[in-house]
Amino acid sequence: MIAKVIVDVPTNQTNRPFDYLIPEEFTHVIDIGMRVIVPFGPRKILGYVVGFEERTDVEKVKSLEEVLDVTPVLTPELLRLGKWLASRTLSFYISCLQVMLPQVLKAKYKKEIWRIEEHLPEELENLFQGSDVLTSEEWEASSFKYHHLKKWVDDGYLDVRYEVKSKETKRKITVIEPGAEPVRLEELIAEIPAQAKKQRALIDFFVDYPDPIPKKDLLNFVKTTDASLNPLLKKGYLQSYSQEILRDPYEGHTFTSTSPPPLTRYQQQAMDEIVDSVKNEKPDVYLLHGVTGSGKTEVYMQSIQEVLARGEEAIMLVPEIALTPQMVERFKGRFGSKVAVLHSALSAGEKYDEWRKIQRRDVQVVVGARSAIFAPFRNLGLIIIDEEHETSYKQEDRTRYHARDVALKRASEHGCPVVLGSATPSLESFARAQKGNYRLLELPERMNEQAMPTVELVDMRDELHEGNRSMFSQSLKAKLEERLQKGEQSVLFLNRRGYSTFVMCRDCGHVVECPYCDISMTYHRNQERLKCHYCSFEKPMPSKCPECESKTIRYFGTGTQKVEEHLQQLIPEARIIRMDVDTTRRKGAHEKLLTKFGNNEADILLGTQMIAKGLDFGNVTLVGVLAADSLLNLPDFRASEKTFQLLTQVSGRAGRHEKEGEVVVQTYTPDHYSIQLASTYDFNRFYEEEMKYRKMFHYPPFYYLTLLTVSHPNTFQAQEVTRKIAQYLKQNLSETAEVLGPTPSPLERINNRYRYQTMVKYKSEPDQQKYVQRIMNYYESEMKEQNGLQIIVDFQPYQLM
């Protein structure tokens, strides 16, 4: 028998199954979806079995070395999904298989240099110093080069051996059980000297509880140590063995169990429709639209309950940042041990064990971030994506997939519905719901029947005219002080991303935009120029405002640290917690700061994006947004949409409970529709406005996009390759496709590599993948050389930089 194996070598030439003979010993254990170790050239590497055949045309076919799994790690469905993913994203099949699995199932490769001759030349003997083997690190640290190694291998002194190991580790514990029947134990106690009290107590323990018990627990209970236990094990009175256990990241944590409350009319309607599709096994897609607190999560949970009752399984995706202890609490409280949780704060071992609970069918529900969409369930009944508009559902490196697309694909395979939930759906999804491709479910009311907090828009231009040059308006300052007096808390939000790239007049609020694209131009400091990264139009940085001639035109640049300093000067008695990438780098720091804030150990929480979601504190009655424009002026056609989403989201942080909340939004463009409409929570009107703009400028959801980013240490090379690619696409794609560029990326240089882009806007280009693949093949050799060319293709990009 022959196994078809996808090998762990991500290149174009190896992007196909290779044939290996299955040795006799493995013929009964090997299965599709298992990991194997195979010889490949001089090396041994990891591979995945994707099929079997009776015979092969390959001459001198090699045998596979080892089978690593007893249960397949990939189901046949996931193998098909991997193939689909590879063609959708133009990635290697192997990368797509690996993206579906926990890190620890990837291979660890070891290279060693072995002595195969007793007497080595002197210089080598000095290096080996009598030992038989050197690690490749030891070899590299020596003064010898690769050509020396090759010569000594050819001369028969040395051999290079490769070893491959799986990184997985299983956690084992020691378990103790009695070595005799309970009745005999009493007699044994009598045989132990009276002064050995602890030994007696250890045996006595099993008289009442003869079941095996973890050693740790036993010693804890009897309050003793190995010193007392070991003699008993030696005599055979007690026995020990080791047992594999799954790590539980929530060990020691008790979850209060909850039962489902009766649903409101709207909730019930939504759930009935979803459950109807579950029962009829129809892959319908629902868009559940409802503001924060409208009861979406309760609809998810009760729908999942129906799915479980049918003996099926459910995947619930939430953005990483929203996977808070509160969220886990709710799911564990409702579904108990039926839930696995997958998110990045878990250790690699914990993630693996959570994943194995799914693989072993110990659980039926997974709550997790993006990659949980690949949970190896075999009997999916429902997939839910909460906060579906979140861009973190798109993977931004290697296999550039969107979890929503994968969800739809899996749903069609399993015949199960998908529910997309959000208070501010993406334009793409809402447009599909409007067209009837998705089914729209609305939850128009908040559960606590409280209105959303009122939003005050503060025009920062007026502040400047009144002589206030600080970044805090009079109104915000007064409100912060008021909270301090009342012992209530405030959250201040600052968006840092892209903060320093756009240029604005502080006098009139005018932002310099590209005359051809209606997108803010990007400031490139080293040349003192403004560039449009869509069409490459550029001009020098103006010295005065083209609108009002004021000289206060400048680019924006302020970090959270600076804001904290200013704030402290402004309100010296305030206790401030700053949360940004710098203060949360250490593991667990995020939770610690939030707990501190929750315990009222600070008055003001100041932070970036990361505080926008999930946090739910009853004492927060004021939310301030320092510079609403910073997101609005990103060189991104989704800037307005992101601004609307973010403002809606941060506003939802105030007045979550009994106390009423208030929101202050500082802006230089209070008339912009996304800011205006966010302040009145009017999603539908925002949708209409934004759709006009998208239509006019040919953006999604009216057009699809493909973004190719070329980088090279030489700026001319990068530009030239991009130009050729753009030209090739122009020649081959249909008349209706628009090919833009080459244009410098807004992040023009990263790591001394220059980056250029070309963007395709299109309605339908069935052959596009083929042409892009040809481009990649054409440049493959140039891309391999060190420091050479790199081309990244992103279909339906979310990050345009």
Binding site for Zn ion (CB under 5 A): 505, 507-508, 510, 514, 516-517, 532, 534-535, 537, 545, 547-548, 550
Nearest approach, Cβ of residue 83 and Zn ion (Å): 38
Q: Which two tokens stand for residue 363?
A: 């659980």
Nearest approach, Cβ of residue 263 and ligand ADP (Å): 5
Q: Count of residues for the chain?
A: 801
522 binds, among Zn ion, ligand ADP, none (CB under 5 to 8 A by kind): none
Closer to Zn ion by Cβ: residue 12 or 550: 550
Nearest approach, Cβ of residue 267 and ligand ADP (Å): 6
564 binds, among ligand ADP, Zn ion, none (CB under 5 to 8 A by kind): none
Nearest approach, Cβ of residue 648 and ligand ADP (Å): 12
Contact 351, 342 (CB under 8 A): yes
Closer to ligand ADP by Cβ: residue 293 or 661: 293
Alpha-carbon gap, residue 280 to 621, rounded angstroms: 46
Give all strands of the β-sheet with 43-53 in edge-to-edge order: 18-21, 2-7, 43-53, 35-40, 66-67
493 binds, among Zn ion, ligand ADP, none (CB under 5 to 8 A by kind): none
Contact 491, 622 (CB under 8 A): yes
Closer to ligand ADP by Cβ: residue 118 or 449: 449
Nearest approach, Cβ of residue 266 and ligand ADP (Å): 10
Closer to ligand ADP by Cβ: residue 304 or 514: 304
Closest of 777, 632, 771 to residue 706, by C-alpha: 771
Nearest approach, Cβ of residue 437 and ligand ADP (Å): 23
505 binds, among ligand ADP, Zn ion, none (CB under 5 to 8 A by kind): Zn ion
| 683-696 helix and 427-435 helix, angle to the nearest 10 degrees | 100
Q: What angle do CA 111, 112, 115 make, to 5 degrees?
A: 155
At 154, phi and psi to the nearest 5?
A: -60, -35
Quick one: three-class SS letters along 343-378?
A: CCCCCHHHHHHHHHHHHCCCCCEEEECHHHHHCCCC
694 binds, among ligand ADP, Zn ion, none (CB under 5 to 8 A by kind): none
Q: What angle do CA 767, 768, 774 make, to 5 degrees?
A: 95
Contact 128, 168 (CB under 8 A): no
Q: Is 416 annotated as a binding residue?
A: no
Alpha-carbon gap, residue 796 to 406, rounded angstroms: 14
Closer to Zn ion by Cβ: residue 309 or 548: 548
Nearest approach, Cβ of residue 327 and ligand ADP (Å): 9
| Integer CA distances (angstroms), 697 to 26, 515, 694, 761, in order | 60, 12, 5, 10
514 binds, among Zn ion, ligand ADP, none (CB under 5 to 8 A by kind): Zn ion
**Site residues (CB under 6 A) for ligand ADP?**
261, 263-264, 267, 290, 292-298, 447
Nearest approach, Cβ of residue 506 and Zn ion (Å): 8
For residue 447, list its beta bridge partners. none
Closest of 178, 176, 175 to residue 207, by C-alpha: 178
Residue type, 35: R
Alpha-carbon gap, residue 207 to 228, rounded angstroms: 17
Closest of 274, 255, 258 to residue 266, by C-alpha: 274
261 binds, among Zn ion, ligand ADP, none (CB under 5 to 8 A by kind): ligand ADP
Q: Which two tokens stand for residue 336?
A: 């108990």
DSSP letter for each residue of 371-407 = GGGG---SSEEEEEEETTT-GGGB--SSS--BHHHHH
160 binds, among Zn ion, ligand ADP, none (CB under 5 to 8 A by kind): none
461 binds, among Zn ion, ligand ADP, none (CB under 5 to 8 A by kind): none
Nearest approach, Cβ of residue 741 and Zn ion (Å): 10
164 binds, among Zn ion, ligand ADP, none (CB under 5 to 8 A by kind): none
Chain-centre distance of CA 163, in angstroms? 31
Closer to Zn ion by Cβ: residue 86 or 505: 505
292 binds, among Zn ion, ligand ADP, none (CB under 5 to 8 A by kind): ligand ADP
Closer to ligand ADP by Cβ: residue 294 or 674: 294
Q: Is 514 annotated as a binding residue?
A: yes
Closer to ligand ADP by Cβ: residue 560 or 649: 649
Closest of 271, 263, 273, 275 to residue 312, by C-alpha: 275
Alpha-carbon gap, residue 16 to 94, rounded angstroms: 9
Q: Mention every residue, 6+ apart, whose C-beta is less than 8 A from residue 776.
A: 12, 90, 791, 793
Closer to ligand ADP by Cβ: residue 265 or 435: 265
Q: Is 96 annotated as a binding residue?
A: no
Rg of the chain (C-alpha set): 31
Give the HSE-up count for residue 388: Cα atoms under 13 Å, Cβ half-sphere: 28
Alpha-carbon gap, residue 521 to 532, rounded angstroms: 5
DSSP letter for each residue of 439-464 = EEEEE-S-TT-PPPPEEEEEEHHHHH
Alpha-carbon gap, residue 55 to 21, rounded angstroms: 9
Chain-centre distance of CA 589, in angstroms? 19
Alpha-carbon gap, residue 686 to 646, rounded angstroms: 13
Closer to Zn ion by Cβ: residue 383 or 519: 519
At 302, phi and psi to the nearest 5?
A: -75, -30
Closer to ligand ADP by Cβ: residue 21 or 263: 263
Nearest approach, Cβ of residue 310 and ligand ADP (Å): 22
Nearest approach, Cβ of residue 87 and ligand ADP (Å): 36
Nearest approach, Cβ of residue 550 and Zn ion (Å): 5
Closer to ligand ADP by Cβ: residue 74 or 318: 318
Q: Which two tokens stand for residue 331?
A: 């799911």
Closer to Zn ion by Cβ: residue 274 or 553: 553
296 binds, among Zn ion, ligand ADP, none (CB under 5 to 8 A by kind): ligand ADP
447 binds, among Zn ion, ligand ADP, none (CB under 5 to 8 A by kind): ligand ADP
Nearest approach, Cβ of residue 469 and Zn ion (Å): 16
Q: Which two tokens stand for residue 366?
A: 């997974």
What are the binding residues for Zn(2+)? 505, 508, 514, 517, 532, 535, 545, 548
What are the binding residues? 505, 508, 514, 517, 532, 535, 545, 548
